[in-house]
Structure 1
Amino acid sequence: MASLLHRLGLFSARRPLAVLLAWVFVIAASVGGMATLSRPLSNAFEIPGSEFGRVLDQLGEEIPDVAGGTGTVVVHSPGGFDADQRTALRDTMDAWEQLPHVTDVLDPFALQRRLDGSVDRLDRAERRLTRGQQQYDSGRAQVAGLEALLRQDPSSSTPELEQQLRDGRARLDGAEQELADGWAQYAAGRALSDAGDGVSFVSDDGTTALVQVRFDTQTQELDPSVLEAVPHAGAALADAGIEADYGQELTMSREVGGPGEAIGVAVAGVVLLVMLGSLVLAGLPLAIAMVGVGVSLTLGIATTQWIELQQMAPVLGMMLGLAVGIDYALFIVNRHRRQLADLTADLPDGVRPDREAVRASIALATGTAGSAVVVAGTTVVIALAALAVSGIPTLLQMGLLAAFTVAVTVAVALTLTPALLSFVGARAVPRRRRSASTGADRAGWPQRWVGLVTRRPRAATALVSLVMLVLALPALSMRLGLPDGSSEPQDSTAYQAYERVADHFGPGANGPLLLAAEHDQPVGEDDLVAEQARVARAVLAVDDRVSVLPVGTSDDGRTLAFQVVPAEGPSAESTVELVEGLRRLAAGDERIHVRGLFDAPMISDVNPTGEQLLGDDVGLGLTGATVANIEVSERLAGALPLYLTMVIGLSLVLLTVVFRSILVPLVATAGFLLSVAASFGAIVAVYQWGWLGSLFDVHDPSAVFSFMPTLLIGILFGLAMDYQMFLVSGMHEAYVHGKDARTAVRDGFSSGARVVAAAALIMVSVFAGFIWAEMTMARSIGFGLAVGVLLDAFLIRMTFTPAVLSMLGDRAWWLPRWLDRLLPNLDVEGAALAERLRAQQPEVAEEPAREPVPVG
């Protein structure tokens, strides 16, 4: 591989203009493709075969009015809504109804009047029934008195009196049945009303109202311009003195870049400038990263003509592309500069290497450092492509686009970097001449640090392990979920809408559940209220709910739809428990009995036997955005162990092939697991517990973004292997060329520590730039990757790994001979390439090499 990359680097160095123009053409073509083929990105999270999807599809066929998407508009008037403001609101609602895909706009004041009217009707019915009961009791008493009189004095009986008595008994029997039916209907209506108690559309103080805009499909599937038209049409409300805030489903950010990301790239540029000491050379890795990201993302977005692309995918691709693009180019540039420093060490002052010598150095750097870049990039690509095991198309899209971005960036780094270095020419020679033979380039903090670590390897290993395990402790309480309005920036309209709903209508109103009760037999119109009450009674027996409200009935009467309002917000743990309780109720796993839910006048005991509330004739199904988020999180959590196992297996196989060792892969994998666990712990502490929330703009801590653990494992694995490759390959190279095990660790560390430290700081800067991104979902991923790279690079790869390898000594590099013969030789360190080049230059003395010493 090194020889092939050497030829590629030499070709690019000798024909730099052709390579540059080729990439310019690719960029132009990809931008043109994006401009002509791209379609809007989606914010939907799909799960094939999901329960919430099945229920939603069924409701879409049977009760379309409740199955479409709904956008919430929260309108507020500090002094209450006057006549002019209500007129302005009605006009705006009329304008919303004319928008594409809008099927209905629900007037909150009309809905509130209907709710209040139903309570009044129940009160009037109760009074009528009470009067009827009193009349019945009076009539029954009169009949009873007359019967008693006839029993005492039978002679007073006449045919007319006997007939009158029979007629009275008949009328009383009929009245008794009517009263019983009336009280039963009243009890069902009152129970249903009580079940919906707490649901309102206008706040108690009359200052806030909820307007629901219904669409013919889910909001995630609509063109963003359709959703954006709602706030645009509502701008006229401000002229009437009405404050309008729009829910997250109408205003979810679709921004791919922002000031935070720009700051991160700027910090990366400063690190490059300090590392390379030249504006030209510092700009080169940035240019490579920009080209890689630009080509891959524009091509990826162009594919939206044929496939649906989740809006998070380009953000993840940009995040990764910028980081690895800068790093991969830096590794090649740094290797080239070190070679030039050695080449010019013995030249007279003012003399620079000629063009062919510079090109030869570029080719050698591409063959050696480029080999590590290919292996590292391939590792990232495989880890991201393996996200297919999750079975979630959205996650696969994100993984594939990110993998494509990394692959393109590797191609750009291996071709455009040599071409640009050829343009730079001898200006890449470091200003201070340093000789590798004297070890001057290895003096400084890397040598002092590795010396300290290898002198006290047990203490260093124990200390790093302790720190990582302590950081990992919060991960034991990690909860997964998708972001809701509470996670949006505090100055956003989505957050203001969420807060106003929570303050005036309860936090659960921000994430109601949609429940479908499927009956074996049609429910007749006369039995509808009683059946709705029966279902509501069963749901109310489950904890963590506030109210249950019927919202629709299918034409055939077999399916009843209900809105269930949780006690807390969509991401709250209690809401997850509510969904689980409703699932148990639907599955019949536990018997939930009536506990006085139907208490009403004249009805002392509706369910004295304590039978199961819902029999086999009724099946319950759950759907809605909140249920979908919970099910997505559960599916991702279930796929996580398999994915982690695959990544660990890949790590062991890859590192065994590269380093020809059994213990080195085990050490690297153990360090990777420590990094992942510590990163998870830091994310939980900040985003779930709210620690340092003011610093990271976490104002309402909630569940961790459900995609984050899987993505972080895949990405961090690839990046950790990058640093493992560049540090440990130097140690292995020194060992096989005759150094003892401990000296090899020190020399290999000293030769690669500076560039790895710079690369890690660059990645941390780029990832940290996404912590304050407009897109909420990108924040925890950026934070987790920044923390993960920081911990993995400086604590695991630069402290834990050299300490453990120093303790292991020769055993670290042992590999059974039979396994050594089976494994392919990737020549990542370029040994075969160096041998070939030395053969072409016999005057260069070869350093004696040795085989690893078998131990144990």
Structure 2
Amino acid sequence: MTMESLFFLVTNGHDEGASFMSALAHWCVRHRRIVISSWFLVAVGLVAAVVLGGTAFTTSSDMPDSESSKAYALLAQMPSSGSSGKIGKIVWHSTAGPVTSAAVKTEVTAVLDEVAKQAGVVKVVSPYTVAASGDTAYAQVVVSSDADVAPIEKVVTGAEVDGVTFTYGGDAFQEQISSSNGSSEILGLIAALVLLMLMFRAWRAALLPLITGVVGVLVSLLLVMVGSHVVTLSSTSITMAAMMGLAVGIDYALFVVNRTRKGLLAGKTVPDAIARAIDTSGRAVIFAGLTVIVALIGIRVVGLGVLTGMGEAAAVTVAVTVAAALTLLPALLGAFGLKVLSKKQRARLAQGVVEEHAPRLAGKWAALVQRVPWLVAPLALAAVVLLAIPVLQMRVGDSDASSDPATSATHRYYAMSSAAFGDGFDNPLMIAASTPDAPSRAAFTALATELKSVTGVATVTPVAKSADGTVQSVTIIPKSSAQAEATTTLIETLHGDVIPAAEAGTTMKAYVGGSAATTQDLSDALLGRLPLYLGIIAVLGFLLLAIAFRSLLVPLVGALSNITSILAGLGAITAVFQFGWGSGLLGVGSGAPITYIVPVLIVGIVFGLSMDYQVFLVSRIHEEWTHGRDNKRAVRVGVTETGRVIATAALIMLGVFASFAFDGERIVAAIGLGLASAVFIDAFLVRLTLIPALMTMIGKANWYYPCWAEKITPHLAVEGTPEPEPEPHAAPAVSETVLQA
């Protein structure tokens, strides 16, 4: 099904679109064995493709014009040290005397020799570089790029030398830090199952959203693995895709299952109830899914390849989960039939009695909000703003071993090495320069001399030169670690003052490289483009909602409220991961800058999810408005009839995202916590509190739409084909409490 056909199904509110959606549902129900078997065969085929072809995950930042990339391009022209691969360090500290003593040296050398024998080790370089104190030393270990460093770690951690403590760290060991065992994700699914059981009181109905979500995620993850051969994707894309797929997959299925149950309790046959659910909630799923996909693909405007790949991987997952909700779920619903209802409901239905309880809590909440909207709206807005305040102090960058958990090997490595060799021990900055003539070479020599007196510089290595002298470099060891603000200040000083002064009047062009410099370049590029991305998706949200609901104020309030939810999520991340408030509880260590990919992903994902809730809520309000033109009643009915579903969906997402917050990997945990916080705030403070209060105060002006805009705006039928209204004497049809979307 193409994007154009999906758009047609959502935008066409007449018989053609309705008959197609209904026909699709009926076909899936009649041919449920074919549908279920097809999903199974697709999964098996993708598994075979992954087994035969493997994966090709890579990491690319796509920053060809950055200062650091130019430095690396020049360094590539320098003579090779002969060491290809990743470099790590083994550090040891002696409490029984100098590390240079014959006894200590003999036993430590034996440990290093054992390390050198491990598979993947290219060589052990420069052993016994000793600290000034004489009680600590280190050796560099060069390993091949695809080496498994676990055996090396085992040798180091298992070394037994009296009075000597060993640890390890550096680039070669970075990929071994904090890998999830999947237990937290399982806990998230269990929490979702409990919530679904409380909502449906029928285990088959509770399982269906989970089955649909998990199948959609598995198929999409396999697609992402196969797709890694085609587009640039990092391994983190798998986690991102799983996170998005589980959340939206379960939620989308929840809306369809809930709508089907309502239809069954209203007396519809199983095929007709499923068809009606697909023609209403299914449309909303398509519309919501497309907005999420557009937001994720829109990450491309940021211009960073790794982010683009992660966004595309998550978009694939959303698309597959939408397809699962529209095909696999109807087939499963057809297979279960009336068993998606509880035994009590089936028994009463067989007697011709429809038992349906009005959502009392949601109704009471809607009444409270409408009683004092002038008080509720400022309080809700103030709460969201308060939660978003920390974002004003957000620092974007990479964390280093100094902020890793105190019990981790990486933190022990940092503590031991920094105490002996300084905080900048593992944070070298390289200055590479093009020096095509004698004056420029003299200028670089003068620059290297001046660097020794620059604030924040601990040591400067001798100048290295290419064979013809046209490229020269020097390495700086800062006094501070990579994540420290002092390092950022040093890089800015080099960029803004020291290097320009040295270049003046010469042809020399010098650039700063190193991991800290690369991170700063990426962060600067991100912060420069993030406002553009935020603006684009805000305008997109406004236009989509304006077209869907023929209003100016409703989409304006919706778009602005989306931004507040995003900022609140970023505020939570800043408070926990940068300020360190409670970060230890998540097992990610102490406070550190926020990794540059996190804000962009939070912006894109939260926008899409906020749009989901806005569509489900406002579509029901809009439907009620079109029936009676009573704004206050429309808002009350909309909140009453969608509040329970939105709250349950949000709690499920909260559980899924929060489970990733305990992943142990800092980036994944930050994304999980940010999304969990944003979803909770968006659902309960914004959608079910702030929006109803504002819409109540605004009144009929909510639905003002200029005549000229009406003429040029295409029609979207998010609610599907309306059913006949109940008779005036009849009680409110609680069977319509699920979203008419």
Distance 1:229 1:695 in 2: 30
Residues 751-790 of structure 1 correspond to what in structure 2 (within 5 A)?
751-790=641-680
Distance 1:814 1:439 in 2: 39
Structure 1 length-normalised TM: 0.77
> Match for 2:484: what amino acid?
A
The correspondence for 2:89, drawn from 63, 72, 75, is 72
Gaps of 5+ in 2: 1-8, 10-16, 734-741
Distance 2:463 2:242 in 1: 43
The correspondence for 1:107, drawn from 126, 134, 139, is 126
Distance 1:564 1:66 in 2: 21
> Match for 2:27: what amino acid?
F
Residues 187-206 of structure 1 correspond to what in structure 2 (within 5 A)?
201-206=129-134
The correspondence for 1:86, drawn from 90, 105, 125, is 105
- How many corresponding residue pairs? 703
Per the TM alignment, residue 89 of structure 1 is displaced from its structure 2 partner at its CA by 4.2
Per the TM alignment, residue 6 of structure 1 is displaced from its structure 2 partner at its CA by 2.0
Distance 2:709 2:60 in 1: 47
Q: 1:35 to 1:621 in 2, by over 3 A?
A: same
The correspondence for 1:250, drawn from 160, 173, 194, is 173
> Match for 1:339: what amino acid?
G
Distance 1:569 1:236 in 2: 28
Q: 1:723 to 1:257 in 2, by over 3 A?
A: farther
Residues 185-264 of structure 1 correspond to what in structure 2 (within 5 A)?
201-214=129-142, 222-223=145-146, 225-228=147-150, 230-231=152-153, 234=156, 237-238=159-160, 243-247=166-170, 249-252=172-175, 253=177, 255=179, 258-264=182-188
Distance 2:560 2:343 in 1: 41
SS in 1 for 2:130: coil
Per the TM alignment, residue 468 of structure 1 is displaced from its structure 2 partner at its CA by 1.4
Per the TM alignment, residue 335 of structure 1 is displaced from its structure 2 partner at its CA by 0.8
SS in 2 for 1:565: strand
Distance 1:567 1:419 in 2: 64
Distance 2:254 2:514 in 1: 48
The correspondence for 2:457, drawn from 520, 528, 545, is 545
Conserved in 2, the CA contact under 8 Å of 1:388 and 1:395? yes
SS in 2 for 1:246: strand
Q: Provide Cα deviations, 1:255-302, integer angstroms capped at 9, x if missing partner.
A: 465222221221111111111112222111111111111111112112
Distance 1:531 1:101 in 2: 42
Per the TM alignment, residue 422 of structure 1 is displaced from its structure 2 partner at its CA by 1.0
The correspondence for 1:719, drawn from 609, 620, 632, is 609
SS in 1 for 2:138: strand
Q: 1:317 to 1:472 in 2, by over 3 A?
A: same
SS in 2 for 1:62: coil
**1:649 alignment counterpart:** 539
**2:233 alignment counterpart:** 309
SS in 2 for 1:328: helix
Q: Provide Cα deviations, 1:737-768, integer angstroms capped at 9, x if missing partner.
A: 12511001111111111111000001011111
Q: 1:700 to 1:108 in 2, by over 3 A?
A: farther
SS in 2 for 1:73: strand
Q: Provide Cα deviations, 1:603-624, integer angstroms capped at 9, x if missing partner.
A: xxxxxxxxx6976254322112
Gaps of 5+ in 1: 110-200, 217-221, 344-352, 592-611, 839-843, 848-856
Distance 2:472 2:658 in 1: 48
Distance 1:568 1:107 in 2: 24
**1:703 alignment counterpart:** 593
**1:371 alignment counterpart:** 283
Distance 1:44 1:89 in 2: 38
Conserved in 1, the CA contact under 8 Å of 2:57 and 2:233? yes
Conserved in 2, the CA contact under 8 Å of 1:384 and 1:402? yes
Distance 2:364 2:158 in 1: 68
Per the TM alignment, residue 449 of structure 1 is displaced from its structure 2 partner at its CA by 0.4
**1:497 alignment counterpart:** 413
SS in 2 for 1:381: helix
- 1:804 equivalenced with 2:694 (yes/no): yes
The correspondence for 1:279, drawn from 194, 199, 203, is 203
The correspondence for 2:295, drawn from 376, 383, 386, is 383
Per the TM alignment, residue 700 of structure 1 is displaced from its structure 2 partner at its CA by 2.1
Structure showing greater radius of gyration is: 1
Aligned CA RMSD, in angstroms, stands at 3.0
The correspondence for 1:818, drawn from 691, 708, 718, is 708
Distance 1:267 1:477 in 2: 34
Distance 2:94 2:552 in 1: 70
> Match for 1:638: what amino acid?
G
Distance 1:97 1:758 in 2: 56
Residues 335-346 of structure 1 correspond to what in structure 2 (within 5 A)?
335-343=259-267
**1:599 alignment counterpart:** none
Conserved in 1, the CA contact under 8 Å of 2:434 and 2:508? yes
Q: 1:77 to 1:40 in 2, by over 3 A?
A: farther
> Match for 1:296: what amino acid?
S
Q: 1:730 to 1:820 in 2, by over 3 A?
A: same
> Match for 2:422: what amino acid?
G
> Match for 1:616: what amino acid?
T
> Match for 1:830: what amino acid?
G
Per the TM alignment, residue 84 of structure 1 is displaced from its structure 2 partner at its CA by 5.2
Conserved in 2, the CA contact under 8 Å of 1:450 and 1:749? yes
Q: 1:231 to 1:102 in 2, by over 3 A?
A: same
Distance 2:78 2:633 in 1: 75
- 1:689 equivalenced with 2:579 (yes/no): yes
Per the TM alignment, residue 83 of structure 1 is displaced from its structure 2 partner at its CA by 3.5
Distance 1:88 1:373 in 2: 65
Bigger drift between 512-521 and 389-398 goes to 512-521
The correspondence for 1:12, drawn from 20, 28, 42, is 28
Structure 2 length-normalised TM: 0.88
Conserved in 2, the CA contact under 8 Å of 1:321 and 1:406? yes
> Match for 1:488: what amino acid?
D
Conserved in 2, the CA contact under 8 Å of 1:63 and 1:554? yes
Conserved in 2, the CA contact under 8 Å of 1:316 and 1:398? yes
Distance 1:496 1:265 in 2: 35
SS in 2 for 1:638: helix
